[in-house]
Amino acid sequence: MLGEITRARIALAASLCLILAGCTTTEAELQKNPKGVSKAALCRTFVETPDQYLRGQVAAELVRRKIEPMSCFDMVQQQNQAAAALVAVALVGTAVAVCANNNCGGTSYPSYTPSYQGNCQYEWQYDAAGRRCGRRAASARPGGW
């Protein structure tokens, strides 16, 4: 079960990375069908491409769509932050699941089983009749219990 959860979360993180990397367009795609290229792909290409000619073509398409090319920087940054947050949540969730199944928090508290058979082990306790044990308690007597 845990292996399936871990694999699913890793697959999610990897697919997000691939999706963001694939959210760009090429010059051929832009020339073939400029209206078919999403705003996100145009903006990511505008921000990330080192090709100045392609950047100019993308900017022209953005202006044609009445989108300010400089607004693409904020949009891409928000997408990157959202993707990073999703990956972080997936990784933290995986770590929590692994720790929950492997006792990463250390040992659990042992169950308390008293070794003293009676009501007055300590002075602050009460006996069966409801009176305070005081000096009659086992801890107050020489030799204990």
pLDDT tens track for 20-47: 555 777 888 888 888 888 898 899 899 9
pLDDT at 62: 93
Write the CA distances from 53 to 6, 35, 77, integer angstroms. 43, 19, 23
The domain in which residue 79 lies consists of 2-102
Orientation angle between helical segments 2-21 and 71-102, nearest 10 degrees: 170
Tell me the range of 19-23, 107-111, 121-125 where mean pLDDT is highest.
121-125
- Residue 107: inside a domain, yes or no? no
**Residue 16 pLDDT greater than 80, yes or no:** no
DSSP bridge pairs for 85: none
Same domain for 69 and 128, yes or no, is no
pLDDT category, 108, cuts 50, 70, 90?
Answer: low
Average pLDDT over residues 82-99: 82
| 127 and 93 within one domain | no
**Residues 48 and 89 occupy one common structural domain:** yes
Total number of domains constituting the chain? 2
110 inside domain: no
Same domain, 68 and 126: no
Q: Is residue 38 part of a domain?
A: yes
